[in-house]
């Protein structure tokens, strides 16, 4: 008795062959020439008349034969697909990660769904925003986010100052140069907040996704090792259609 994975392995080839032969059969019966035949003989009006040889063309394509060939080819496809689908109804396996059963007796079709979803989740998790490693972050429950320590910085303002280069004399006024000095006028206290995730948290989730992906693949292989009971559906279908 074949295994489900063996049925899956040959199904694609059987399907391709069946569709190719059905397409060839469809094109063959569209050509009226090979379907037609003729046989005719000539008899002159009297014995002195011209004698002509008989003419004949044999039928090259017989629609009934085409139906039998199509029936045989598609019966194989119908049977192997039925065998796969019937077995899929019973093929199950547990998804186990580190000895923990995440899901029990999961149908193989659902395992295939899980594989696709976990691949998408892996891509999603890898793109999650991560906290800036250049900052020191602490959890802030009041805002349900992350925050840094308060940092105090000066706010300055440029104030003009006079620099006397030369004192005034009786003959000359004082020589004064204006320059600007940064003077502290206040203080900024800054706290940064972020809704991103610590890199450790993202890596932990990635590890779990990858572990579950592996477990699902193992479960699918186990489920696909289920024995497949041959189904015979094609003969009944084409016995009704072409019988």
Give the domain extent around 157.
150-190
Mark whether 161 and 78 lie in a shared domain: no
Reported pTM: 0.71
DSSP state of 170: S
Q: What is the mean pLDDT of residues 131-152?
A: 95
Residue 183 within any structural domain of the chain: yes
Q: Output the pLDDT for position 164.
A: 78
DSSP string, 88-109: HTT-EEEEEETTEEEEEEEEHH
Structure confidence at residue 192 (pLDDT)? 96
pLDDT of residue 28: 84
Lowest-confidence region among 39-43, 107-111, 119-123, 138-142:
39-43
Can you list the pairs that 115-120 forms with residues at least 24 positions away whose Cβ atoms lie under 8 Å? 115/213, 115/216, 115/217, 115/220, 118/209, 118/212, 118/213, 118/216, 119/213
Asked if the structure places residue 207 within a domain, the reply is no
- Give 10-63 pLDDT, tens digit per residue: 999 999 999 999 998 888 888 888 888 889 998 988 888 888 899 888 888 888
The number of folded domains in the chain is: 2
- The mean of the pLDDT values for the chain is 92
Asked whether residue 4 falls in the same domain as residue 62, the answer is: yes
Domain membership of residue 196 (yes or no) is no
- Name the pLDDT band for 163 (thresholds 50, 70, 90): confident
Would you say residue 145 lies in a domain?
Answer: no
Give the pLDDT score at 125. Answer: 97
């Amino acid at each position: 008795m074949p295994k489900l994975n063996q049925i899956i392995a040959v199904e694609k080839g059987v399907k391709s062959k069946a569709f190719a032969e059905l397409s060839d059969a469809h094109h063959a019966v569209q050509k009226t020439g090979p379907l037609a035949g003729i046989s005719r003989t000539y008899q002159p009006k009297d014995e002195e008349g011209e004698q002509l040889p008989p003419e004949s063309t044999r039928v090259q394509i017989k629609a009934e034969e085409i139906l039998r060939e199509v029936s045989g080819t598609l019966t194989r496809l119908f049977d192997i697909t039925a065998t796969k689908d019937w077995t899929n109804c019973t093929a199950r396996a547990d998804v186990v990660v580190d000895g923990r059963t995440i899901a029990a007796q999961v149908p193989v079709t659902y395992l295939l769904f899980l594989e696709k979803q976990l691949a998408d989740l892996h891509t999603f998790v890898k793109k999650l925003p991560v906290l800036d490693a250049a900052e020191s972050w602490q959890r802030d429950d009041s805002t349900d986010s992350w925050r840094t320590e308060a940092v105090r910085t000066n706010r300055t303002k440029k104030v003009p100052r006079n620099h006397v280069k030369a004192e005034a004399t009786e003959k000359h006024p004082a020589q004064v140069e204006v320059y600007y000095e940064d003077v502290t006028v206040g203080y900024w206290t800054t706290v940064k907040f972020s809704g991103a995730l610590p890199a450790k948290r993202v890596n932990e989730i990635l590890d779990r996704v990858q572990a579950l992906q592996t477990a699902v693949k193992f479960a699918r292989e186990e489920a696909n090792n289920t024995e497949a009971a041959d189904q015979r559906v094609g003969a009944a279908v084409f016995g009704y259609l072409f019988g």
